[in-house]
Structure 1
Amino acid sequence: MQTHEIRRRFLDHFVRAGHTEVPSASLILADPTLLFVNAGMVQFKPYFLGQEAAPYARATSVQKCVRTGDIDEVGITTRHNTFFQMAGNFSFGDYFKEGAITLAWELISKSQQEGGYGLDPERIWVTAYESDPEAAEIWHRVAGIPKERIQFRDGKDNYWDMGVPGPGGPCSEIYYDRGPEYGRDGGPVADEDRYLEIWNLVFMQDVRGEKSPKLGFPPVGSLPKKNIDTGMGVERIALLLQGVDNVYETDLLRPIIDKAEELTGRSYGIEHEDDRRFRVIADHARSSAMLIADGVNPGNDGRGYVLRRLLRRIVRSARLLGANRPVLGEFMKVVSELMSPSYSELGTDFARIESVAVAEEATFLKTLNTGSRLFAETVEEVQIKGGKTIAGSDAFKLHDTYGFPLELTLEMAAEAGLSVDEAGFRALMAEQRKTAKEDAQARKHGHADLSIYKEWVDRGETEFTGFDELTSEAHVLALIADGVRVPTALTGQDVEVILDRSPLYAESGGQIADRGTLTAAGLRLRVNDVQKIAKKLWVHRATVEQGQITEGDVVLAQVDPQWRRGATQGHSGTHMVHAALRQVLGPNAVQAGSLNKPGYLRFDFNWQGQLTEQQKADIEAVSNDAVGADFPVNTFVTDLDKAKQMGAMALFGENYGDEVRVVEIGGPFSMELCGGTHVRNSAQIGPITLLGESAIGSGKRRVEAFVGLDSYRFLAKERALLAGVAASLKVPSEEVPARVEQLVERLKVAERELERTKIAAVLSSAGSFVDRAERVGAVLLVAAAAPEGAAAGDLRTLATDIRGRFGSQPAVVVLLGNADGKVPFVVAVNKGAQELGYKAGELVASFGPSIAGRGGGKPEMAQGAGADPSGIAAGLTAVRARVAELAG
């Protein structure tokens, strides 16, 4: 049975049993606790946490999942995958244990002719939580499983919770006995290779405290409603129904291995190390395609780092297997053909998926050449010193400068018989991350307890009136201060106000919240922010400026009209720029995020490489042409599938409902799914001035722009600045660029002349150093402090010249400088000295500690820098002693 059929049968079975079929969520959800969706229940967490009422009593889905903790296990074992499909059925206060067990048993035991999986009932084993005899009794009574095939396990195996205080419960796992050829007898407690887990049924009934029942601590309470959360591994069922030994031989993975055999000339199933690499390719190719399809781009942190690591492991594995040309495009094509029957975006968006993978491969191949040279030099330096560990700073440099994942450095170091200071590397990574900005929503909400809002979330959505009016009468449903519901709030107090209706836009879709007021007789609140809770409840964060507000009051909620005007210009301007980017750069310039506020917008998009000046000019021109065309701005609500068929652009990682709002500007010019506020026609946006573009990560660029009056003010300042420069240069404004170019060229000529003079001055001292050379055994040694202020390049030039003046006489030159509190140094050894056993890199170790420095290089030349100028004299003494020691 093919995997696509396995998925279909699962969904059909539960739909017939009254479940609502829910599409798989994106692998990227706005959950600050997760890098990727890693379980089928993730999109239902608000219902299990009690933050929202579930819109259905029963649901079923096949969720795409990625678990990054298993990356290192991939290829080594045949059971681990980074990407997998989790089929599940969920009950929100409807059926419980007996219902879940009955439904699962019917599907796995019913014959294939009747729509089931037709697994042999005599080979089914189950486990239950040690304190849950009820589940064991149901399995025996409903499914007829003998008691000897029902095993009890402790909380580590058979209790589930989210890892934090909240819902949890015992679980029951279903196993299939693959036979004695796969392991020893005795059930799942004896051997989980022979007895393969295929399904986990969680009976969510408890409230766990700070310490988990998984570790033996009792629950602190019971849930008001008992829920069901199950997960069936699609790949594992496929393994059984297709009669193969492991998941890599199933229909959605084996063809990738076949393609790898074709590209490398090697065969799978012959040599263990080769097999591991084939499995890495198969797993990572599928995972990478699914991540790219959901909007992830390669980068050096977070999700982008995981994707980069996966793609680069594929490339390196293929090269180690013998591939001598680019491979990622080929693998992406196979994955698209295999997976698109279930995930159509892999087919419709294949050009972008392929381009992202191919661009990363090209980058990595350059990285391999450059970084591998640095790695080889680092290894040589460590080995010269007799060390066994590559420093964390070297591993960090490989990662940060050359894009080497730490795991690649670890693999290559192991091949060289070395280890890596991982703690040092991670400390440097942590320091770097401190400077990175956190996601705005994560800052505002994190994984905060939102249960205080549940009462109003369950009542229904806040009625947003802001599309049609800027002032609305509203009732105060609740007041919250410092996380506690309060009856009133007084002058000067900050308070969260929940209204039944509001014209103020709540921050979402890249548009920041409206500013405005809440007023009544003798009452005025300034609204500073508006946030959405559970995508449906508007929470107004306000300061009481006058009077006292009380729950139940009727207030007038009003948007600051000037703020709204600027906000609509910024948001509609974002759509203009997005459309212009795609027109100028092509369909692969896909949105990766945005921010718009009055007078300003920024737009992030997926793109490899810096934009040219001409491209930026074209983007600005296309945007302003659309503004000048005075396009009408139309909005309408339709179903998601129809909107996509019309060509409406959607944001990656966003979960849309069945009905979506479409914003259309100028017909085909711009059509996007968007819930924001907009101008009525494009001319109202005003001029759009592109401020520039920059990189915000590998494969991601950002453009920023002013719109409306802010654009005009910016251009006025630029005009005044140009006029001032023209006046200083005493030329007309139009001649300023040519005049500046002349001045720059004259400056370059002067700098080159200065550099020649500086080099001549440095080289003029070479003779004096030669005259002061010391004879140490058979070697002439120059060990001296360099001229004050000499930089690293100057030292290298000087040392090379001095070394050359000794001709064939064995000579060693060591120069230590002092420039801006640093100690640059160079060691140069000529051929005669090398033949006597002197090596430049080795000599660095003798004086490096004195100046708090390190460096390296080849036997004939080594250089680096230190941080302690006070140690120069001691360092020179140390190197003389080392040269004397080597001379015997």
Structure 2
Amino acid sequence: MQTHEIRRRFLDHFVKAGHVEVPSASLILDDPNLLFVNAGMVQFKPYFLGQQTPPYSCATSVQKCVRTGDIEEVGKTTRHNTFFQMAGNFSFGDYFKEGAITLAWELITKPQEEGGYGFDPERIWVTAYEQDPEAAEIWKRVAGIPDERIQFRDGKDNYWDMGVPGPGGPCSEIYYDRGPEHGKDGGPVVDEDRFLEIWNLVFMQDERGELSPKAGHPPVGELPKKNIDTGMGVERVALLLQGVENVYETDLVRPVIEKAEELTGSRYHVGNHDNDVRFRVIADHARTAAMLIADGVNPGNDGRGYVLRRLLRRIVRSARLLGATKPVMSEFMTIVCEMMAPSYPELESGFSRIERVAVGEESAFLRTLDTGSRLFETAVDDARSAGKSVLSGSEAFALHDTYGFPIDLTLEMASEAGLSVDEEGFRSLMAEQRQRAKADAHARKQAHADHTVYKELLDEHPTEFTGYTELNSEARVLGLVHAGQRVPHAAAGQEIEVILDRSPLYAESGGQLADTGHITAAGLRLAVKDVQKIGKKLWIHKAIVEEGEVTEGADVLAQVDPDWRRGATQGHSGTHLVHAALRQVLGPNAVQAGSLNKPGYLRFDFSWQGGLSDAVRREIEEVTNEAVLADFPVNTFETDLPRARSMGALALFGENYGDRVRVVEMGGPFSMELCAGTHVGSTSHVGPVSILGESSVGSGVRRVEAYVGLDSYRYLARERALLEGVATALKTSPEEVPARVEALVERLKAAEKELEKHRSAALMSSAGTLAAAAERIGGIRLVAQAAPEGVSANDLRVLAADVRGRLGSEPAVVALLSTVEGKVPFVIAANDAAQQLGVKAGDLVRAAAPAVNGRGGGKADMAQGSGTSAAGIETAPTEIRAAVAAAAR
């Protein structure tokens, strides 16, 4: 049975049982505890937490998930993936243990010809929480599973919670016996390779405190309603139903391995364990990377972007180690998207971006590998010069951590060079880094934001947003919240959260900042500083009571600051115009990656490799302003999501849209986007758009910033005044300023070049003086002095070589230091005769470096370094003299 069919049967089974089918959420959700969605229940958290009342009593979904707890271990086992699909059914106070067990048992044992999975009931084992005998009794009664195939386990294995205070409950897991060829008998407590877990049923009934029942601590109470959260591993069920050995041989994963065999010339599963791991890394990471990019993640140096970067780089290095000599990423992304698109059509529609981002990161990493190879060669030379046969763990770690050079390549290349690597030292440094990362993650982890105080208001009184058609709305105060608690009233001077039944004030979302304004009544005035949404339907007005006393139930007038709103709509509509202009000039791959707009200003992030030329930037600005001049009407309408997509409306990556969406259209096909923001009536109201600049905000993501409306006019006026001021200073017309400035720059460059010649000549003329001042340390002539301030490292090298040459053939060492803009470059040169006595420049650099708080290295004849402490220039020559004396004994 194919994986797509396994998904379909699961959803059909639960829909027929009265569940509402809910689409998979994006892998990126606004959750303080998660980088990525890692379980099917994540999008339902507000319902399980009791913060919102669910719109249905039962739901089912197949959620795309990513878990990245220890990426380095992927591929070493054959049953874990970073990306996986979790099929789940959920009950919010409807059925409980018996209902969940019955529904699961029916699906897995029902014959395939009747729509089930057809698993042999005699090979099914279950586990239950050691303090939950009720679950075991239900399994015996409903499924007829005998006592010998029911095993009890402690909280570590069979209790679930989110890792923070909140809901939790005992679990019951379903396992399938794969047979004696896969391991020992005795059930899952003995061997979880033979007895493979395919389904976990969580009976969510408890509220946990700071300490988890998983570790033996009792819950602090019971939930108001008993809920069900189950998850079936789609890939694991596919493994069993397809009769293959592991998840990497299932129908959606094995084709990636076959493509890797084709591209590398190596073969999978022919007795080479290390190569098998590399094939599995490629297959796993290629799927995960494609899904993350499809949901809007871009490679970067922290957070989600760093995870994606690591995945892509591990693919490249694994392919290289398997024998690939050419780029591979395009081929891998193609096969992944072809295989997965039937269940995730966004992979097909977004393929060009997925491929471009992945290929761009591959190209960047290949350059990193080249740089790392050169640094590796330097480390090898240093080791050989020092008579060592082992590269230190710190050198291997620096190559890995600072330059992205993978340890397995370091090991392989060191072996080819006849050296070994201090792997224990490397692993120790890696462990320290992981520990720091875990500590940082733990410090940032927090309990899920508590919105319980708003639950009653969410259930009964959602806010009606009236701001699309009016700036002033009569409203009633539904609730007041202060310091997380409902209060009946608030007096002058207090900060308060005000919930209204109707509001014209826009709540921050979609990149548009919240409106400011006032809430007034007779003798009452509140200044609204911010507006946020809870549950997408309750407006929280954060305000200061300026006059009077506000009470719950009062009738008030909510007012938007008209100047703020005018500027905000200009900024938001201007963002849509810039987006459309970018796509017109650069093509459809210029996809939105984020935005911010406020009165008079906008910034727009988009996916793109490489900077934009001045000519392209001017073209984008011109296309944008042509749309302003065209005075396109701005039309908005609501429709369902499939209809909006079929019309070509653009959606923001990572955003979860409801069944009904709002479309904002400007100029027909020129711009059409899903957007809940406020906008101008026609594009001419945006006013002039002045692009301020374009820059990088991460790998594959660029940012355009612009002024609109009056702010744009003021910016242009300042630019004009500046140009006129420069023209006056140069005694020329504004039109002639560029040519005059260019001529002045050329004259300045020529003068600097001439000055540099004189400076270099003067510096080199000091070589004779320095050589003549050489002192003797044993049988070695030594020059150890500070050069004039401002001498660069390159000039120090040239000068040191010149002085060394002037000292003739007898043993000689030259050490020169300088200061340049707070740095202390230093160079040491030793001639052949000195080296024969055991004096090596690289060793002397390391001896001198601590005096100037620096580091350095190099070869035996010439080495250099840099420090940060200029005070050490006085003591460094003394350290060098001592090191020369010790080496020459």
TM-score, length basis structure 2: 0.95
Kept in 1, the 8 Å contact 2:784–2:815? The answer is yes
Partner of 2:691: helix, strand, or coil?
strand
- In the TM superposition, what is the alpha-carbon distance from 1:757 to its structure 2 partner? 1.7
- In the TM superposition, what is the alpha-carbon distance from 1:341 to its structure 2 partner? 0.8
Kept in 2, the 8 Å contact 1:460–1:536? The answer is no
Structure 1's 35 and 507: CA in aligned 2 closer, same or farther, altered over 3 A?
Answer: same
CA-based RMSD: 2.5
Separation in structure 2 between the aligned mates of residue 224 and residue 286 of structure 1, nearest angstrom: 40
Separation in structure 1 between the aligned mates of residue 773 and residue 51 of structure 2, nearest angstrom: 81
Post-superposition Cα deviations, 1:107-132, rounded to whole Å, max 9, x if no partner, equal 11111111111111111100000010
Equivalences for residues 325-336 of structure 1 within 5 A: 325-336=326-337
Equivalences for residues 154-165 of structure 1 within 5 A: 154-165=154-165
- Are residues 1:601 and 2:606 paired? no
Structure 1's 724 and 399: CA in aligned 2 closer, same or farther, altered over 3 A?
Answer: farther
- Are residues 1:41 and 2:46 paired? no
Separation in structure 2 between the aligned mates of residue 148 and residue 521 of structure 1, nearest angstrom: 75
- Are residues 1:486 and 2:491 paired? no
* Residue aligning to 2:748: 747
Separation in structure 1 between the aligned mates of residue 344 and residue 318 of structure 2, nearest angstrom: 27
Percent of aligned positions that are identical? 71
* Residue aligning to 1:54: 54
Separation in structure 2 between the aligned mates of residue 426 and residue 383 of structure 1, nearest angstrom: 31
Kept in 2, the 8 Å contact 1:379–1:390? The answer is no
- In the TM superposition, what is the alpha-carbon distance from 1:417 to its structure 2 partner? 2.9
- In the TM superposition, what is the alpha-carbon distance from 1:754 to its structure 2 partner? 1.9
Letter matched to residue 858 of structure 1: K
Kept in 2, the 8 Å contact 1:53–1:458? The answer is yes
Post-superposition Cα deviations, 1:702-741, rounded to whole Å, max 9, x if no partner, equal 1110000110111111111111111111100111111111
Separation in structure 1 between the aligned mates of residue 88 and residue 557 of structure 2, nearest angstrom: 47
Separation in structure 2 between the aligned mates of residue 407 and residue 689 of structure 1, nearest angstrom: 50
Separation in structure 1 between the aligned mates of residue 126 and residue 407 of structure 2, nearest angstrom: 40
- In the TM superposition, what is the alpha-carbon distance from 1:842 to its structure 2 partner? 2.1
Instruction: Give the alignment partner of residue 421 of structure 2, picking from 392, 416, 421.
Output: 416
Partner of 2:69: helix, strand, or coil?
helix
Partner of 1:692: helix, strand, or coil?
strand
Post-superposition Cα deviations, 1:521-570, rounded to whole Å, max 9, x if no partner, equal 11111111110011110011111111111111000111111111111110
Structure 1's 411 and 633: CA in aligned 2 closer, same or farther, altered over 3 A?
Answer: farther
* Residue aligning to 2:135: 135
* Residue aligning to 2:614: 613
Structure 1's 534 and 683: CA in aligned 2 closer, same or farther, altered over 3 A?
Answer: same
Letter matched to residue 452 of structure 2: S
Letter matched to residue 560 of structure 2: V
* Residue aligning to 2:223: 223
- In the TM superposition, what is the alpha-carbon distance from 1:835 to its structure 2 partner? 5.2
- Are residues 1:261 and 2:266 paired? no
* Residue aligning to 1:521: 522
Post-superposition Cα deviations, 1:190-217, rounded to whole Å, max 9, x if no partner, equal 1111111111000000111111111111
- In the TM superposition, what is the alpha-carbon distance from 1:616 to its structure 2 partner? 0.6
Separation in structure 1 between the aligned mates of residue 611 and residue 223 of structure 2, nearest angstrom: 54
Partner of 2:27: helix, strand, or coil?
coil
Separation in structure 2 between the aligned mates of residue 430 and residue 391 of structure 1, nearest angstrom: 21
Partner of 1:354: helix, strand, or coil?
helix
Structure 1's 410 and 605: CA in aligned 2 closer, same or farther, altered over 3 A?
Answer: farther
Kept in 1, the 8 Å contact 2:379–2:391? The answer is no
* Residue aligning to 2:4: 4
Equivalences for residues 638-649 of structure 1 within 5 A: 638-649=639-650
- In the TM superposition, what is the alpha-carbon distance from 1:404 to its structure 2 partner? 5.4
Partner of 2:106: helix, strand, or coil?
helix
Separation in structure 2 between the aligned mates of residue 857 and residue 281 of structure 1, nearest angstrom: 38
Equivalences for residues 541-560 of structure 1 within 5 A: 541-560=542-561
TM-score, length basis structure 1: 0.95
Separation in structure 2 between the aligned mates of residue 602 and residue 258 of structure 1, nearest angstrom: 44
Kept in 2, the 8 Å contact 1:378–1:390? The answer is no
- In the TM superposition, what is the alpha-carbon distance from 1:598 to its structure 2 partner? 0.7
Partner of 1:557: helix, strand, or coil?
strand
* Residue aligning to 1:206: 206
Separation in structure 2 between the aligned mates of residue 577 and residue 113 of structure 1, nearest angstrom: 55
Mind listing any 5+ residue stretches in structure 1 that lack a counterpart? none
Moved more, 178-187 or 646-655: 178-187
Separation in structure 2 between the aligned mates of residue 790 and residue 424 of structure 1, nearest angstrom: 39
* Residue aligning to 1:63: 63
* Residue aligning to 2:188: 188
Moved more, 536-545 or 867-876: 867-876
Separation in structure 2 between the aligned mates of residue 245 and residue 376 of structure 1, nearest angstrom: 42
- In the TM superposition, what is the alpha-carbon distance from 1:615 to its structure 2 partner? 0.9
- In the TM superposition, what is the alpha-carbon distance from 1:808 to its structure 2 partner? 5.3
- In the TM superposition, what is the alpha-carbon distance from 1:867 to its structure 2 partner? 3.3
Moved more, 149-158 or 766-775: 766-775
Post-superposition Cα deviations, 1:302-331, rounded to whole Å, max 9, x if no partner, equal 111111110111111111111000000000
Equivalences for residues 315-334 of structure 1 within 5 A: 315-334=316-335
Partner of 2:372: helix, strand, or coil?
helix
- In the TM superposition, what is the alpha-carbon distance from 1:351 to its structure 2 partner? 1.1
Partner of 1:69: helix, strand, or coil?
coil
Equivalences for residues 690-705 of structure 1 within 5 A: 690-705=691-706
Separation in structure 2 between the aligned mates of residue 425 and residue 722 of structure 1, nearest angstrom: 52
Kept in 2, the 8 Å contact 1:827–1:863? The answer is yes
* Residue aligning to 1:875: 876
- In the TM superposition, what is the alpha-carbon distance from 1:818 to its structure 2 partner? 4.0
Kept in 1, the 8 Å contact 2:691–2:704? The answer is yes
Letter matched to residue 155 of structure 1: G
Kept in 1, the 8 Å contact 2:88–2:229? The answer is yes
Mind listing any 5+ residue stretches in structure 2 that lack a counterpart? none
Separation in structure 2 between the aligned mates of residue 869 and residue 566 of structure 1, nearest angstrom: 52
Kept in 2, the 8 Å contact 1:462–1:499? The answer is yes
- Alignment size in residue pairs: 878
Structure 1's 72 and 3: CA in aligned 2 closer, same or farther, altered over 3 A?
Answer: same
Structure 1's 818 and 469: CA in aligned 2 closer, same or farther, altered over 3 A?
Answer: closer
* Residue aligning to 1:93: 93
Kept in 2, the 8 Å contact 1:396–1:429? The answer is no
Separation in structure 2 between the aligned mates of residue 379 and residue 540 of structure 1, nearest angstrom: 64
Equivalences for residues 610-759 of structure 1 within 5 A: 610-759=611-760
Separation in structure 1 between the aligned mates of residue 439 and residue 567 of structure 2, nearest angstrom: 38
- In the TM superposition, what is the alpha-carbon distance from 1:745 to its structure 2 partner? 1.2
Separation in structure 2 between the aligned mates of residue 500 and residue 350 of structure 1, nearest angstrom: 44
Equivalences for residues 385-424 of structure 1 within 5 A: 389-391=392-394, 402=403, 416-418=421-423, 419-420=425-426, 421-422=429-430
Kept in 2, the 8 Å contact 1:474–1:554? The answer is yes
Kept in 1, the 8 Å contact 2:411–2:421? The answer is no
Equivalences for residues 580-591 of structure 1 within 5 A: 580-591=581-592
* Residue aligning to 2:17: 17
* Residue aligning to 2:298: 297
Kept in 1, the 8 Å contact 2:391–2:421? The answer is no
* Residue aligning to 1:860: 861
* Residue aligning to 1:843: 844
Letter matched to residue 219 of structure 2: P
Letter matched to residue 421 of structure 2: A
* Residue aligning to 2:507: 506
Partner of 1:544: helix, strand, or coil?
strand
- In the TM superposition, what is the alpha-carbon distance from 1:50 to its structure 2 partner? 1.0
Separation in structure 2 between the aligned mates of residue 830 and residue 286 of structure 1, nearest angstrom: 57
- In the TM superposition, what is the alpha-carbon distance from 1:469 to its structure 2 partner? 0.8
Separation in structure 2 between the aligned mates of residue 873 and residue 732 of structure 1, nearest angstrom: 55
Letter matched to residue 33 of structure 2: T
Letter matched to residue 449 of structure 1: D
Kept in 2, the 8 Å contact 1:125–1:175? The answer is yes
- In the TM superposition, what is the alpha-carbon distance from 1:459 to its structure 2 partner? 1.4
Structure 1's 643 and 821: CA in aligned 2 closer, same or farther, altered over 3 A?
Answer: closer
Post-superposition Cα deviations, 1:477-499, rounded to whole Å, max 9, x if no partner, equal 11111211111111111111000
* Residue aligning to 1:459: 460
Separation in structure 2 between the aligned mates of residue 790 and residue 350 of structure 1, nearest angstrom: 53
* Residue aligning to 2:797: 796
